[in-house]
Structure 1
Amino acid sequence: MKVAIAGAGAVGRAIARELLVNEHDVTLFEKNRTHIDPVAVPGANWVHADACELSDLEAAGLQTFDVMIAATGDDKANLVVSLLATTEFAVSRVVARVNDPRNEWLFNEDWGIDVAVSTPRMLASLVEEAVTVGDLVRLMTFRQGQANLVELTLPDDTPLAGKAVRRLKLPRDVALVAIIRGRRVIVPQSDDPLEGGDELVFIAPEESEDELHQTIKAPI
């Protein structure tokens, strides 16, 4: 997969390293020449360019990329990069970093963004996930499909203990994608039994979250 990353700061470089480990073709766009350091991310391509400038993106051939990641420390820049990538270059997947949670409402499909990642929100969600049992915790929002990645930890005395996954009567358009049990990550099969303490990870539209929560809380 060919991935462009706008912003070669600490965040952009860290993302690039992770993608390179998985053998993706990664290009870092950085407008500050003094920040360009190929030795810092071996294997990545570096382009001295302002990702908010249409001419620079044209020169770099952004239309040939599969993914654009707007990872600068400036929310305004990330919005512009995302919009250009989608509307001018038809990049099929756009992921944007949200620096200020107050701006999160802007990071949606109107700006060409498929997934918005807010570090403060994610950290808060992880804290909630670590201490909350029996409540639904939203981990991430997928903007393109208006769906959320949500988690619920079953209490030890859950009425679902010993019941098969197929017995769950999930709301429409809700999918159970993983069961985390201790250090195990289980891809759920219909006959797999549930246990108290299981972390259930779902993809669900926002309007189905309350129904999902009630379904998991109610005995079968």
Structure 2
Amino acid sequence: MRALIAGAGRLGTQIAQVLAAARNDVTLVDVDEDRAAELEGRLPVRLLTGDACELGFLEVAGALTADLVVAATGEDEDNLVISLLAKRQFTVPRVAARVNDAENTWLFDQSWGVDTAVPAATPLISLIEEATGASDTVALLRLSKAGVDVIETAITPESGAVGRTLAGIRLPAGAVIATVIRDGQPTVPAPEMRLQPGDELLVVSHAATEQEIHAAFQ
């Protein structure tokens, strides 16, 4: 699946990490050059700087061949424009848009090219599930096109994984840690990273069950 994500904030970055870990072709764009520079080399995605509200830039970013566009900027007006261009100009099959202000929810419908409107407070997994239109949910989400599950697990003070490095965690065969969310921010899962209480992990699995993933960290 080819995914184009507009907005490299927390949500956009997390979505990019998960979709890329599931072996999708992901492009993440942001208007802020400093933000793009900060993420360079930290994500397995194509990073571009530019205004996704501009038709020409969307084309350069790959909207013509995108299977999914996610408008995840912090501005509702921008997300509506991006959605409309993606659907009307590039006939993108699936368009999801983040709603920052609940009072604007009524605008986010198919008249603006939005297939799925997702409130900003919606959990990451729900946003990805809605965005991809996945209906076969196993654990939290099955990305049917990629043939993998994305399973979320949290590290509690009682977890046996507290203080251990990621390299020291024995994961079931076919499982890979996509990202570690610490203090609300996604971080690159480096092997030497030590797990702390409160960490949330997103694990991409081709075969392991939700119970097997949880057991590896508890």
TM-score, structure 2 as length reference? 0.55
CA positional deviation for 1:41: 3.9
Question: Which residue number corresponds to residue 79 of structure 2?
Answer: 78
CA positional deviation for 1:54: 0.8
Question: Which residue number corresponds to residue 33 of structure 2?
Answer: 33
CA positional deviation for 1:101: 0.8
Residue 11 of structure 1 aligns with an amino acid whose one-letter code is: L
Deviations 1:118-174 (A, max 9, x none): 134x47xx9xxxxxxxxxxxxxxx79x9xxxxxxxxxxxxxxxxxxxxxxxxxxxxx
Question: Which residue number corresponds to residue 97 of structure 1?
Answer: 98
CA positional deviation for 1:76: 0.5
Question: Which residue number corresponds to residue 63 of structure 1?
Answer: 64
Task: Work out the CA distance in 1 between the residues paired with 2:40 and 2:85.
Answer: 29
Question: Which residue number corresponds to residue 170 of structure 1?
Answer: none
Question: Which residue number corresponds to residue 207 of structure 1?
Answer: none
TM-score, structure 1 as length reference? 0.54
Task: Work out the CA distance in 2 between the residues paired with 1:77 and 1:119.
Answer: 14
CA positional deviation for 1:44: 0.5
- CA separation of 1:56 and 1:45: change in aligned 2, threshold 3 A: same
Kept after mapping to 2: 8 A contact 1:33/1:48: yes
Kept after mapping to 2: 8 A contact 1:17/1:41: no
Task: Work out the CA distance in 1 between the residues paired with 2:60 and 2:41.
Answer: 24
Question: Which residue number corresponds to residue 88 of structure 1?
Answer: 89
Kept after mapping to 2: 8 A contact 1:7/1:28: yes
Is 1:2 the counterpart of 2:2? The answer is yes
Question: Which residue number corresponds to residue 119 of structure 1?
Answer: 120
CA positional deviation for 1:58: 2.2
Question: Which residue number corresponds to residue 15 of structure 1?
Answer: 15
- CA separation of 1:184 and 1:23: change in aligned 2, threshold 3 A: closer
Kept after mapping to 1: 8 A contact 2:40/2:47: no
Task: Work out the CA distance in 1 between the residues paired with 2:28 and 2:94.
Answer: 16
Question: Which residue number corresponds to residue 106 of structure 1?
Answer: 107
Task: Work out the CA distance in 2 between the residues paired with 1:67 and 1:58.
Answer: 14
Moved more, 56-65 or 3-12: 56-65
Higher relative contact order (CA 8 A, sep 6+): 2
CA positional deviation for 1:42: 2.1
- CA separation of 1:17 and 1:61: change in aligned 2, threshold 3 A: closer
- CA separation of 1:48 and 1:105: change in aligned 2, threshold 3 A: same
User: Structure 1: 5+ residue runs without aligned partners?
Assistant: 127-141, 146-174, 186-220
* Identical pairs, percent: 42
Secondary structure of 2:97's match?
strand
CA positional deviation for 1:66: 0.7
From the CA coordinates, give the structure whose radius of gyration is larger: 1
Deviations 1:92-139 (A, max 9, x none): 10010011111111100000011111134x47xx9xxxxxxxxxxxxx
The ranges of structure 1 where at least 4 consecutive aligned residues each deviate by more than 6 angstroms after the TM superposition are none
1:139-158 alignment runs, 5 A limit:
none
User: Structure 2: 5+ residue runs without aligned partners?
Assistant: 142-218
